[in-house]
Amino acid sequence: MADVMIAVTPFHGHVAPMAVVAAAFVAAGHRVRVYTGAAHAAAFEAEGAEVVRWREAPDFDEHDLAATFPELGSGTGLGQLMRNIEQLFIRTGAAQCRDLVEAYGIRPWDVLVAESTSLGAAFAADRTATPWVTVCLTPLTLLDPGTPPPGFGIPPAQGPLGRIRDRVLIGALRAITRRLQRAHEEERALAGLPPDGRTFDEACYSPGLVCASGVAELDVPRPDTGRVRYVGALSAASPEASTAGRARQLPEWWPELLAHDRPVVHVTQGTQHLEPRDLVAPSFAALGRQALLLVATTGRTDQDRFPFPAPPNARIAGFVPHAELLPHVDLMITNGGWGGVLAALSAGVPLVVAGGDADKPEAAARVARSGAGIDLRTGRPSPRALLRAYRRVEGDPAYRANAERLARRLRAHDGPREVVHLTTAHMTNAADPG
C-alpha cells in the first residue's frame, strides 16, 4: 500500500475525472489524500479519500472568480486568457506548495499525482524530492521535437517551410507569454526553489511520467520517449461505478428522450466561462425548427434554464451524466472541453466543436483531423455555420464511422486503473533506477 497525494485545481472540469482516478487508487488499496478546494471536498470524500484543503492558496468559487481574484475582471480574448493563467494557475503556485509541504510534514506521501494545471504540486515535488506523476486532462501540449507549437490548433510541420513556420510561431509564443514566464520564475523563488531553466508551460509536466487522457490518434505525432502514456478517457466504467454518479438525478423529461424517434443533438457550453449566448443560443436558433430533439445543459447543477427562450424541441437540465445521456445522442455540439470531447468519442458520437480559447482550439483541431467532427474555428459561431455543420455531419456517414473507430480505441483503455498501474511502476523505478 502506498500513501498517495493527488493535487487538483478546484474546477469541476478537473475534479470530475480526478475523482474517478482517486477512486481507482482507493480501490487498489492505497491510502489517498486529495489537495483541492473546499467546494469539491465531498466529491473526493465520497470516494474514500481524505481531503487537504487549499488554505495558504486562495480557495475560490469557479463561478465567481472575481470575488477572489479582482485583477481578473470580466473580459474575453487573449488578454483575459493571459490574466487567468497568471492569476489562477501561476500566482497561486508558491502558496499551493506551502500547503502541500505542510501536509507532507504531517504525513509524508510516497508519490504525488497532479493534474496538469497544478503548478504548486510541481514545486512541492521538488521541495520534497518525491516521485511525481502528471495526469493531463487537456490536449497534450508538450513541445517535443517535431511537434507544432501548442495553442494554435495547427497540424505538424511538413518540410522546410513548415519548420520555419514553427520556429516563427514558437518565438511569437515566447514573446506573448514572457509575462507568464516571469511570474513562474517569481513563484518558484517564493516556493524556496532555485531556477531550473524550464518554461512555465513545461513546468507542470513531470519529467518522469505523463498520463495523457486520450489516445495517440487524437494527438500530434511525437517521439516515443516512454514518458508519455495515453490512458484513454478518465471516466467511470458505468454510472454505478461512481458514488457521485449514483447521487445525481435524471431530469423529469428523461422518459421523453428514451421514447424519442428523431435525432438527438446534445449542446453544451461546458462547465467554465459559462456564457450560453456564445454557443447555446445560436444552436437554438440554428436547430430549433429542425426535426430533432435538442438536449442542452447549463453546466451548473443548481440552474436548469437559460436567460433566453428555448425552442419547443429543446429540453434543458443543469447536468446530465454523460454515461447516461450519450448512448442516446446522435451528435454533440460542444465548446471543446477535452473531457466532454473524449466522453462523446468514447460513445461513438460525432462532434461539432466551437473552440474559443485556452485548450479549446487544440481540441477542435484534433477532432477535425481525426475525421470525427467539424472545427468551427470560433467560440461564437453563427446559427448559419452551426446549421451547415449539423447538416454536413448528419449527411456524411464518415463522421460517425470515424467516431466509432476512436470509440473502439478509447474503450480499449481503463484510464483510472491505468493511471494507478503506471504510477506504481513509476514509484518502483524511482526507488530503484538501476
Q: What is the pLDDT of residue 141?
A: 86
pLDDT digits (tens, 9 = 90+) for 62-79: 888 888 988 876 666 677
How do residues 345-358 score in pLDDT, each as one tens digit?
Answer: 999 999 999 987 77
Q: Is the pLDDT of residue 304 over 90?
A: no
Mean pLDDT value across residues 413-434 = 87
Q: Within the chain, which residue ranges are assigned CATH 3.40.50.2000?
A: 3-164+172-232+413-431, 246-411
Q: What is the pTM of this model?
A: 0.91
> Which pLDDT value is given to residue 151?
77
Q: What percent of the chain has pLDDT over 90?
A: 67
* Averaged pLDDT score across all residues of the chain: 90
Question: Helix or strand or coil: residue 34?
Answer: strand
Q: What is the mean pLDDT of residues 162-181?
A: 90
pLDDT at 247: 42
Task: Kindly tell me if the per-residue pLDDT of 26 is higher than 50.
Answer: yes
**pLDDT for position 432:** 67
Whether residue 197 is predicted with pLDDT greater than 80 in this model: the reply is: yes
Mean pLDDT of the 241-249 span: 47
The band of 92, judged by pLDDT with boundaries at 50, 70 and 90, is: very high
In this predicted structure, what is the pLDDT of residue 330? 97
- pLDDT exceeding 70 applies to what percent of the chain? 94
Query: So what's the pLDDT on residue 271?
Result: 65
Say what the pLDDT of residue 260 is: 83
CATH of 246-411, one of 3.90.79.10, 3.40.50.2000, 3.30.2010.20, 3.90.190.20: 3.40.50.2000
First vs last Cα of the chain: how many Å apart? 22
What pLDDT, on a 0 to 100 scale, did the predictor assign at position 244? 44
pLDDT higher than threshold 90 for residue 331:
yes
Q: Is residue 82 very low, low, confident or very high in pLDDT (cuts 50, 70, 90)?
A: confident
The mean pLDDT of 398-414, rounded to a whole number, is 97
Q: What is the pLDDT of residues 340-388, one digit of tens each?
A: 999 999 999 999 999 877 788 899 999 999 999 999 999 999 999 999 9
Tens of pLDDT, residue by residue over 46-62, are: 999 999 999 999 999 88
**With bands split at pLDDT 50, 70 and 90, how would you rate the model's confidence at 434?**
low
Q: Is the pLDDT of residue 272 over 70?
A: no
CATH superfamily of 3-164+172-232+413-431: Glycogen Phosphorylase B; (3.40.50.2000)
Question: Is residue 332 within 8 Å of 307, Cβ to Cβ?
Answer: no
| Cα separations in angstroms, 163 against 166, 175, 215, 338 | 5, 18, 25, 27
